[in-house]
Amino acid sequence: MENTPSRIIDLRSDTVTQPCQGMREVMARAEVGDDVNGDDPTVAYLEEKMASLLGMEAGLFVPSGTMSNAVAIRTHTQPGDEIIAEEYSHLYVYEGGGYAALSGCSIALVPGNHGLVNPEEVSNRIRKSDGSRSHFPNTSLICLENTSNRGGGTCYSLETLYEIGDIARESDCRMHLDGARLFNAVVASGNRASELVAMFDSVSVCLSKGLGAPVGSVLVGTKPFIEEAHRWRKMLGGGMRQSGILAAAGLYALDHNLDRLKDDHHHARKLAESIQGLHGLHISINTVESNMVYVQTEESADKWKQQLEEQGVLCFALGENTLRLVTHLHIDEEQVEEVVKVFKNLSRK
Ligand SMILES: Cc1ncc(COP(=O)(O)O)c(C=O)c1O
């Protein structure tokens, strides 16, 4: 167990991870400059490294995944455009309606199958003003999420991504990926990151989720896209000064915490297989592809959450009958066994 803050087993999210000693040391030693003036070498290196890992031209370091998505949407669209996203996507449910307030866009929601949209449904929602006597807005951006958070950490197949990419090109739409957990999708699917994003115009990757950095996301795309995104980041207040200290943590995360995501996936699988079938609990086991386990509870999820908390296990209730458990770098095999024990005891009550 690395650097676990307390005896509590915290399965609320992979965002609760804290920087380990090695990460703190590289942060303390980081060479920095004023990144608003473009002279922080550590930030520049992180941006280049993420872009090159994803086969893109350029990158932009931003404080959060939410700002990364907001900057991407603003850069790709004009006020009055429409964007397409899955009905429970993070950018629709959890980002304060930023697409509307900051970009002036409407949104067309596509129902998902465990968070994943199908190409035909996407195609059906694309609208263009031309030929509609100005009734329709212009759909100009299709946003996908991989892995899908509310879908249960599920992953897209390359085939589906290419099909949606073809639809986007044929309809003169751009494609943005909320890849907050892109590397979980890489590990779960066995595809390279560059393969999974080849059909996208921009990708946002979070360093502060399963990768274990304290802060930060990187938005990548073409050089002209990133140049324009740089201006929107500025206007949103996301230009940071000696941010090399934060970028150093991101670089450490890329060097040390990518391969180990497979451990988180293994732990999630083990949790799911052990909890499945316990009295009053149901898990759709095929959707457990990465580091999340969604548990359907016959009794109130809030009651389960409270009882688990009394036994030292923290998780989120994401609906009346849904608990979410997320594995991450502070969760080891022994803790997984402990959590299973707690579930078994509570399910017998
Ligand atoms: C899929 C997804 N996208 C974006 C974000 C936003 O990231 P942040 O909390 O850094 O703004 C999250 C946060 O959990 C997420 O799960």
**Residue 306 belongs to a domain with what CATH number?**
3.90.1150.10
pLDDT, position 6? 57
Distances (CA, A) of 38 to 62, 81, 207, 221: 14, 32, 21, 18
From 239, 256, 273, give the residue that closes a domain.
Answer: 256
| Residue minimizing CA distance to atom 4 of ligand 1 | 65
CA torsion 104-54-52-39 (nearest 10°) is 30
Q: Report the separation in Å between the CA atom of 294 and the middle of ligand 1, taken as the mean of its atom positions.
A: 17
The preferred substitution site among 61, 92, 206, 208 for testing ligand 1, maximizing ligand atoms within 8 Å of CB, is 206
pLDDT, position 349? 72
Q: What is the pLDDT of residues 185-214, one digit of tens each?
A: 999 999 999 999 999 999 999 999 999 999
Q: Which atom of ligand 1 is nearest to the CA of 209?
A: 14
79 and 154 inside one domain: yes
189 and 320 inside one domain: no
From 256, 281, 310, give the residue that closes a domain.
Answer: 256
Answer whether 0.75 is exceeded by the pTM: yes
230 and 111 inside one domain: yes
Specify whether the CB–CB gap between 173 and 166 falls below 8 A: no
Q: How far is CA 214 from the centre of its chain?
A: 15
In a domain, 268, yes or no: yes
In a domain, 26, yes or no: no
Q: Distance (Å, rounded) from C-alpha 57 to C-alpha 220? A: 7
The preferred substitution site among 12, 16, 66, 219 for testing ligand 1, maximizing ligand atoms within 8 Å of CB, is 66
Q: Distance (Å, rounded) from C-alpha 328 to C-alpha 337? A: 15
Residues with CB under 6 A from ligand 1: 15, 64-66, 90, 145, 149, 178, 180, 206, 208, 217
280 and 223 inside one domain: no
pLDDT, position 252? 98
Q: Which atom of ligand 1 is nearest to the CA of 69?
A: 4
296 and 273 inside one domain: yes
- CATH value at residue 210: 3.40.640.10
174 and 303 inside one domain: no
In a domain, 1, yes or no: no
In a domain, 22, yes or no: no
Closest CA to 86 of 128, 119, 54, 135: 119
Distances (CA, A) of 191 to 24, 52, 183: 31, 16, 10
338 and 245 inside one domain: no
| Residue minimizing CA distance to atom 7 of ligand 1 | 65
Q: Report the separation in Å between the CA atom of 134 and the middle of ligand 1, taken as the mean of its atom positions.
A: 35
295 and 230 inside one domain: no
134 and 68 inside one domain: yes
Q: Report the separation in Å between the CA atom of 66 and the middle of ligand 1, taken as the mean of its atom positions.
A: 6
Q: What is the pLDDT of residues 27-82, one digit of tens each?
A: 999 999 999 999 999 999 999 999 999 999 999 999 999 999 999 999 999 999 99
170 and 191 inside one domain: yes
pLDDT, position 225? 98
Q: Distance (Å, rounded) from C-alpha 247 to C-alpha 26? A: 10
In a domain, 133, yes or no: yes
In a domain, 25, yes or no: no
In a domain, 2, yes or no: no
150 and 266 inside one domain: no
> What does the block give as tokens for 240?
């940071």
pLDDT, position 7? 82
From 195, 227, 256, give the residue that closes a domain.
Answer: 256
| Residue minimizing CA distance to atom 5 of ligand 1 | 65
In a domain, 337, yes or no: yes
Kindly give the parts of the chain with pLDDT less than 70: 1-6
Give the residue numbers spanning the domain of 332: 9-17+260-348
Q: Report the separation in Å between the CA atom of 185 and the middle of ligand 1, taken as the mean of its atom positions.
A: 15
Distances (CA, A) of 97 to 69, 70, 93, 179: 11, 10, 8, 19
Q: Which atom of ligand 1 is nearest to the CA of 66?
A: 11
Quickly count: other Cβ atoms within 10 Å of residue 45's Cβ.
16
60 and 75 inside one domain: yes
Neighbouring-strand partners of residue 62: 217
Q: Report the separation in Å between the CA atom of 69 and the middle of ligand 1, taken as the mean of its atom positions.
A: 9
Q: Report the separation in Å between the CA atom of 249 and the middle of ligand 1, taken as the mean of its atom positions.
A: 18
Q: Report the separation in Å between the CA atom of 26 and the middle of ligand 1, taken as the mean of its atom positions.
A: 25
The domain total for the chain is 2
